[in-house]
Chain A
Amino acid sequence: MNKQSPLYLAIFLAIVAAIAGGALYGANSLTLPIIKANEEKAEKASLLEMYPDASIDDFTTVDVADITPDHPFVDNVYTYGENVVIFKCSVSGYDGGTVFLVGIDKANDVVDAFQAISNADTKGIGSKITESAFKDSIVGKQASGQLDTISGATYTSTPVVQAINECATIATEIE
């Protein structure tokens, strides 16, 4: 075949791309399990902050494929022990919103633990959500009932509280 013909060039490029694709497939199947394990480990490390007495293997990851279409704020769900369901949620706020973990005791409908991971709202106002006062105000309360928001920081705290209420409902559906 003529080396200048478009067909030859196209075939040549296709072969190069196919070889590249094969190499990528190989590298991906080699590294994907390690990357997945790393990500899960990093996630679970933040769970340990909330439950310092637990070990990483105590948390079981729940498949969120059925939950996220109706509740888009839920990022991940874990179970801990028999009754506790832990939700990782990201909700919008005044500016950047809040990412937090909440553990719900589904048998007693109680907020078992709370941990704010990050808040990107106004420093000193919305960021109060990460302080222990808010955590103390909701831990032990009825998860599906009325929870206190932070006065002066309602833009930040209302979505968080609403998300916790919704999580309480989702928790009852998780086995």
Chain B
Amino acid sequence: MNRMQNFKNGLIKDNPVFGLYLGLCSTLAITTSLNNAIGMGVAVIAVLILSNVIISAIRKIVPDDIRIPVYIVIIATLVKIIQMLIQAYAPALNSSLGVFIPLIVVNCIILGRAEAFASKNGIFDSALDGLGMGLGYLLAVLAMSFIRQLLATGALSMTNPFDESQVLFHLQLIPEDFTISMFSAPLGAFMTFAFLAAALSSYKQHIQRKEDEAAKAAKIAAAQAAKAAKEAA
């Protein structure tokens, strides 16, 4: 139950991007198309799970004084390996994500989860936490790129990342005369981010208010019940 709760928190409530504001640099930069978002999201999930597992496995033997350098070496190695794999098997994705693949090393989600979770919890929990946080990141970049690609190009499209020429789907939803190209620029990225972060924040407030009201109602009910019991006596 607790495990599931942890996992779910990463997806919505403590979403790393819109809830904790981590990893924004890559989020703002690469969310111009669904292809980029999925590629980046999957790369981050892979790095996050592997780094969480490795760091959790060695957490008892790593001296406290040098734990951050050790974590960074592990994360950098994993990112470099993933980058080489992308370069070899999905060269088109590599050229469109460019420098943001190596920059996963300094993505604060990964070091953040290593320090806050994996270094204190077991291997299985850490892997689950990595998956939850990674899916949260994937969800966030997908939501961003969905809006940005749709408004900037009027279409939603995806190609096979392993073979550029194979188009998986292409839906022209808005006529080309009515697209807003600003959304593919940084300004559009910031605006999309702001709206989505605001939406999540208001959702969280809504839940909080509901919980408060429920607690208040329960309190009143308890007080009334006590009063009634007293009168009856």
Contacts and interface: CB of A to CB of B under 8 A. Distances in A.
B74 interface: yes
A31 B77 contact: no
Interface string A1-45: 001100011001100110010011001101110110010001000
Main secondary structure of the interface of B (DSSP, over half): helix
B76 A20 contact: yes
B77 A20 contact: yes
Interface residues on B, range: 10 to 19
Contacts of A23: 77, 81
Contacts of A9: 63, 65-66
A13 B74 contact: no
B175 interface: no
A3 to B, nearest CB: 6
B88 A31 contact: yes
Interface residues on A, range: 20 to 34
Given A17-B73, A20-B73, A27 B85 contact: yes
A155 to B, nearest CB: 29
A35 B66 contact: no
A38 B93 CA distance: 13
Interface in B62-76: 62-63, 65-66, 69-70, 73-74, 76
B89 A34 contact: yes
B80 interface: yes
Contacts of A4: 63, 65
B205 interface: no
A42 B70 contact: no
A40 to B, nearest CB: 12
A92 B70 CA distance: 45
Contacts of A31: 84-85, 87-88
B102 interface: no
A24 to B, nearest CB: 6
B91 interface: yes
A42 B87 CA distance: 13
B50 to A, nearest CB: 11
Contacts of A38: 87-88, 91
A16 B70 contact: yes
B81 A13 contact: no
8 contacts: A12-B62, A12-B63, A13-B69, A17-B73, A20-B73, A20-B77, A27-B85, A31-B88
Given A3-B63, A35-B84, 4 more contacts: A20-B73, A27-B81, A32-B84, A42-B91
Nearest 10 A-B pairs (CB), nearest first? A34-B88, A20-B77, A31-B88, A31-B84, A27-B81, A38-B91, A9-B66, A35-B88, A35-B87, A20-B73
